[in-house]
Chain A
Amino acid sequence: MKDDDIKNGDREVHPTPQLDELEDGPWPSFVTGLKRLRDEGAPGNQKMMNDLLGQLNHSYENRMGYWKGGTVSVFGYGGGIIPRFSEVAEKFPESKEFHTLRVMPPAGFHYTTDILRKLCDIWEEHGSGLIAFHGQSGDIMFQGCTTENTQKAFDDFNEIGFDLGGAGPALRTAMSCVGHARCEQSCYDEVRAHRSIINSLLDEMHRPSLPYKFKFKFSGCANDCVNAIHRADFAVIGTWRDEIKIDQEKVKEHVKEKGRRYTTDTVLKMCPTRAISLNDDDTLEIDNKSCVRCMHCINVMTKALSPGDDRGISILIGGKRALKIGDLMGIMVVPFMKLETDEDFEKLEEFAENVVEFFADNALEHERVGETIDRIGLPAFLEALEIEPDPNMVNHPRTSCYVRTDDFDEEADKWFARQATDQVAE
């Protein structure tokens, strides 16, 4: 509903002509929601939202933002609250403090309507009534709280089993895809990996003392639905080592339904390593030694193809956005690790702790771990983490001759020794 008048019942409200423009159209309007809090929300929400709308409209008119940071925290924690103080508080006093509580969601973003209602009730009482599901790091963003109410809101969230997420130079809130809960392409138990790693490192989240942020993300397969390789310092991606599973009858059904030409164009031709053939009887043949586990053919033929049985994870380290040396994607550091038994999970947890410890000890201030690796070189990072070099870590070996190789033979002996051990293990 647009405001025809700046009166709302007996109460004067700020005119918001710029924002009113964003109430039409088929997509749900956040402005309509904010106005509903202003007009029908709890008394505290109404006042705060009127001034918040006023300030936002002021931003639209002047094309400038008017929030500044500060320091607000809850008892026992150093992070998790994003403080916001208004720079135009004299005009909009009721939203002069508009802090956000970052709250960690259940792994995989599962909720009941019952728990959502409880979260709403708490935020209606102590905050503004405005919630984002979810922020870019995965937090539930409870936006709009006074300094005084921050502790009360947190206490109530905490009482029903929720905890603050990360902010500042700290371990950040993690994300995991829907994975095992609903997806046949999932190659490991994302919930367990997510919860065991983050919950073992909570101190680094709640009491920020790292050189800069550190993010974990967990995707069940190489489709990477939580964008881990780009956005996480530590990306866990599900994969498998054995052969893609083929149900040839369903392959035939797919070809029959979609046609040979379409199957050739969308499955065979799009395989990045030309590893798939369509036989004359409309069955598929896959050269699994050439397959790179990219997921494409499995995405197209969801009924006929699925990941193999020897499943596990890959770990890529160092993804981040532009600041400071430019965009980085994670580098493949652990091509394969089984993740089934308790010991496997303990091993992963230990590795995660070691990487975070390495980061804490070696990164410069405000440096992400990908930048540290860039600065010191991947070999030094691998040595520190006791990881052996592997051809899966590179697109191709070095092209630069500027390297000292007088211990090449010793390194080669290590490679051959590892190869022999691996063969025995298999």
Chain B
Amino acid sequence: MSDQSSKPRVPDEVGVPDPFQYMHPVLKANYGNWDWHDRPRPGVLRHVAKSGDVIYTVRAGTQRQMDVFTIRRLCDIGDRYADGHVRFTTRSNIEYLVADEARVAPLIGALNEAGFPVGGTGASVSMVSHTQGWLHCDIPGTDASGVVKGLMDMLHDEFVQEKMPNRLRITTSCCQINCGGQGDIAVNVQYTKPPKINHDLVANVCERPAVVARCPVAAIRPAMVDGKPSLEVDEKKCVCCGACYPPCPPMQINGDDSTKIAVWVGGKHSNARSKPSFHKLAVANLPNNAPHWPEVKDVVRRIVEAYKSDAQHWERMGEWIDRIGWKRFFEMTELAFTKHHLDTWTGARKSMNMSAHLHF
């Protein structure tokens, strides 16, 4: 607006950018008029419009947290081997749109050459949906990108092929807020100790009534500690969820040995067949063992293998477990079923078996 450099620029509140200016011309021309699709090979989608137009999509995995060199390299590939139009999936895979089938194989070759695995379509393990972790978050119990790197290295083959019973979606979250979301397998931080309170700082840093209100089990109350206004936690009530930590950083929930990892199974966003579902606890108290998290990887591997070997085509993780029963799930994965698997939260009763239906 103004050329006076001292005056701040008034933002142009443009909102959500119009995607049509960036969209592949074949997508634009056939917007809302597609007919069918199939997958000629893993990592490639073919969509056919009612007009007869065809667009190929080549999907490749990325590390999500990308440096400008990586992005420019992906762009170079897009200019040389594709049509210069890309999009990203909700799981941070990049998709190249290509109108000419002859360009598909060279594009795949170029992506593989540059170290970007082509896959993530159909009955595969797609990229882990994840969070920021130690790299950028202000409350993380663990890292995100590192855990994801390890999991995707392990599951690389399942990304580039479509040999699972159905799609398998993994998420990770670095605290119990669970920004990573629901997953067929969810790898989430689970705190195991109440917050450690720095009473010197609480009065100055925290809005105490707001912190009291934040606690889901009403375990926090105002208190005078060493003559200073602070907060105290009823440790018998505390469920160690960490909800007080974001509004009150002096209530440190993380500890190098008390921050643990839990693995959950059977979350599903889609409405296909069964209704959407939340993930359920499989195992807790795994160590937060950077940089490779071997205990977590081992559990995930066992769950993936059991699902792969036993589920029927099109059954998602939760649907498979519904059929075989939790007893068999815990047997097949060699995980323990404990009192901590019995829900105690509001509505817990609805998760109990109130029938004579049994699995033996």
Contacts and interface: CB of A to CB of B under 8 A. Distances in A.
Do A and B make up one complex? Answer: yes
Interface of A: 18-19, 21-22, 24-31, 33-34, 36-37, 40-41, 52, 56, 59-60, 62-69, 74-77, 82, 84, 98, 100, 104-117, 120, 123-124, 129-136, 138, 141, 143, 151, 154-155, 158-159, 161-164, 174-175, 177-178, 180-184, 186, 189, 191, 194-195, 198-199, 202, 206, 222-227, 229-231, 237, 262, 265-266, 270-272, 293-296, 299-300, 302-303, 306, 321-327, 329, 365-366
A123 B271 CA distance: 39
A339 B28 CA distance: 20
A143 B136 contact: yes
B68 A225 contact: no
B16 A65 contact: no
B47 A184 contact: yes
B161 to A, nearest CB: 13
Contact of B276 (A123, A174, A230, A262): A230
B150 to A, nearest CB: 7
Interface string B270-284: 111110101000000
Contacts of B68: 37, 41, 120, 123-124, 129, 131
B314 A300 contact: yes
A161 B210 CA distance: 38
B230 interface: no
Contacts of A62: 256
A26 B276 contact: no
A30 B90 contact: no
Contact of B19 (A108, A151, A159, A270): A108
B88 A134 contact: yes
A253 B75 CA distance: 40
Chain A CB count within 10 A is highest, among B28, B68, B89, for B68
B61 A109 contact: no
A19 to B, nearest CB: 7
Contact of A322 (B66, B146, B241): B241
B17 A324 contact: no
Given A116-B86, A265-B312, A266-B314, A65 B254 contact: yes
Contacts of B90: 134, 138, 175, 177, 225-227
Given A191-B19, A270-B273, A158 B14 contact: yes
A47 to B, nearest CB: 15
A183 B38 contact: no
A120 B92 contact: no
B85 A74 contact: no
Contacts of B256: 62-64
Given A109-B89, A191-B19, A64 B271 contact: no
B146 A60 contact: yes
Given A107-B19, A130-B66, A226-B90, A60 B270 contact: no
Interface in B285-335: 288, 290-292, 312-314
B31 A30 contact: no
B30 to A, nearest CB: 8
Nearest to A184: B34
Nearest to A127: B68
A296 B313 CA distance: 12
Given A28-B70, A62-B256, A111 B87 contact: yes
Interface of B: 8-24, 27-28, 31-32, 34-38, 47, 55, 57, 61-72, 74-76, 78-79, 84-90, 92, 94, 97, 115-117, 129, 131-143, 145-146, 149-150, 152-153, 156, 176-182, 210, 213-214, 216, 241, 243, 249, 254, 256-257, 259, 267, 269-274, 276, 278, 288, 290-292, 312-314, 345-347
A77 B136 contact: no
B149 A206 contact: no
Given A33-B67, A113-B84, 18 more contacts: A30-B64, A63-B290, A64-B254, A65-B141, A82-B136, A105-B88, A106-B19, A107-B17, A107-B18, A108-B19, A116-B75, A116-B86, A132-B65, A133-B71, A133-B94, A177-B90, A323-B177, A366-B214
B32 A321 contact: no
A18 B288 CA distance: 14
Nearest to B171: A136
Contacts of B213: 365-366
A355 to B, nearest CB: 18
Contact of A189 (B32, B140, B259): B32
Contacts of A326: 216, 345-347
Contacts of B131: 136
Given A63-B290, A108-B87, A120-B71, A115 B22 contact: yes
A194 B16 contact: yes
A109 B71 CA distance: 15
A306 B16 contact: no
Contacts of B72: 117, 120
Contact of B87 (A67, A75, A82, A178): A178
A105 B17 contact: yes
Given A108-B87, A182-B55, A321-B178, A67 B136 contact: yes
B149 A22 contact: yes
Contacts of A195: 15-16, 18
